[in-house]
Every structure is written in C-alpha cells, then in structure tokens.
Amino acid sequence: MIFEQLKQNKSIDDNEFNQVYPIRIKKLAARHWTPVKIARKAAAFLVDKPNKRVLDIGSGAGKFCLVGAALTSGIFYGVEQRESLIKLSRKIAKKYKIDNAEFIHSNIMEISLLDYDAFYFFNSFQENIDLTARIDKSIDPSEELYNLYTAYLKDQLEKTPIGTKLVTYWSNCREVPKSFSLESVSHGGILSFWRKTA
C-alpha cells in the first residue's frame, strides 16, 4: 500500500513508511535512514532519464533506494557492508515488488563508481568517528577507516564523466572533488546537489 501510494505521487510521512521495518530498525530511522521527503527530492534530481543507475553509498536498511525506485524510472543500487541490512532490504523489495532496486553486500572499497551514473551519499562513514552514530556493534569504528573510505570515494568520483550527478546529505563534503560544482542546497544546507563540470 505504501509503495503504491508513492508510485501515485501521494504524500507519505516517515512514520507510515517506517512500518515496513522491524522494531529495532524502525528505532534507528530518525538518525540513520533517509527521510521520505529527502529521498523524493534527491531521486528526482538524480534520475533525469529512464534506467539511470543510481548508487546509494552505504544504503543501510535500503530506504533511499526503495523510495527512489518507487518514485522514478531509475535503477537504484544500494551498497552496504552489513549483511543483515542487505537481507532486510532485499526482503522488503521482493515483498512489495520493487523490481528496480538492488542491494549489494560489499564494502565501498570493492565498488567501482564507473559502473553507475549518479550517486547518493548520506555520510555513511561518519559512524567511524562519531560513537553516538553507531548502527550496531558489528563494525569497529576507526578514524583511519573514515579517512580511507573518504579518500577512496573522492578518488572514484574524480574518475566519473562530466555531467555526473551527486547528492550529499548531512555531509561535510570532504568526499566531493573540486571537479564537482554545487548546483543548489536545500533543507537548511544539509542537502546538497552537485554536478561534475570539469
């Protein structure tokens, strides 16, 4: 029902959407999963033609991909290193017949951004340096990992073609190369829209 309403472009609030998740995952939503209104705006920017391949870097419980896939004609891929969250995301996509969302159990260091057309980044590396931002205890936080992941993402984005789009949410933008130009900001500056111009 929720996804049908999204497909019909009806307004859905986060409390409604988060009912698709188990209680433990629902409790993490306010801090860790993209709000529906943010996902709606970001997906509309990233998908400017059918079958655009959008990668969510650190997809968590898959919320951005699920919402984006329901609202657009893009193909959404979520990469996430926690296998339990990948299994959950796949289960929800299958249950609600969201065929244009796929979830990859992997570390960002094993992903080539050249396989995708556009990118969404909700500061998924932050939990390595902010202990209040931990999703669970399955991953040991490390400032070294934060720096490594940030440098890798920046290098990968630098290799993408001119015109590539990126949306960052709650990011300090350290991962954004100078070759990307800021097109606009929204929601008090925490949501940023970028395009590679050089």
How does pLDDT run across 37-82, given as a tens digit for each residue? Answer: 999 999 999 999 999 999 999 999 999 999 999 999 999 999 999 9
| pLDDT at 109 (0 to 100) | 97
pLDDT per position as a tens digit, 143-152: 999 999 999 9
**Environment class of 63 (CB within 10 Å of its CB; exposed 0-12, middle 13-18, buried 19+):** buried
pLDDT per position as a tens digit, 8-26: 989 999 999 999 999 999 9
Q: Are 120 and 54 in contact (CB under 8 A)?
A: yes
- What six digits make up the tokens of 5? 């309403």
Model confidence at 134, pLDDT cuts 50, 70, 90, reads: confident
| pLDDT at 9 (0 to 100) | 86
pLDDT per position as a tens digit, 156-196: 999 999 999 999 999 999 999 999 999 999 999 999 999 99
Share of the chain above pLDDT 70, in %: 100
* DSSP H helical ranges for the chain: 2-7, 14-17, 23-27, 29-32, 36-46, 63-71, 83-95, 143-158
| pLDDT at 139 (0 to 100) | 86
Model confidence at 135, pLDDT cuts 50, 70, 90, reads: very high
| pLDDT at 124 (0 to 100) | 95
User: What are the Cα distances from residue 60, in Å, to 5, 8, 73, 82?
Assistant: 23, 25, 22, 8
Question: Rounded CA gap, 53 and 119, in Å?
Answer: 9
User: What's the mean per-residue pLDDT of the chain?
Assistant: 96
Question: Rounded CA gap, 192 and 77, in Å?
Answer: 20
Model confidence at 131, pLDDT cuts 50, 70, 90, reads: confident
| Domains in the chain, CATH or no CATH each | 2-158 (3.40.50.150)
Strands 180-186 and 191-196: antiparallel
Q: Are 142 and 130 in contact (CB under 8 A)?
A: no
User: What are the Cα distances from residue 59, in Å, to 8, 11, 54, 165, 183?
Assistant: 24, 23, 11, 17, 24
Q: Rounded to two decimals, what is the model's pTM? A: 0.97
* Phi, psi of 78, rounded to the nearest 5 degrees: -115, 125
pLDDT per position as a tens digit, 81-128: 999 999 999 999 999 999 999 999 999 999 999 999 999 999 999 999
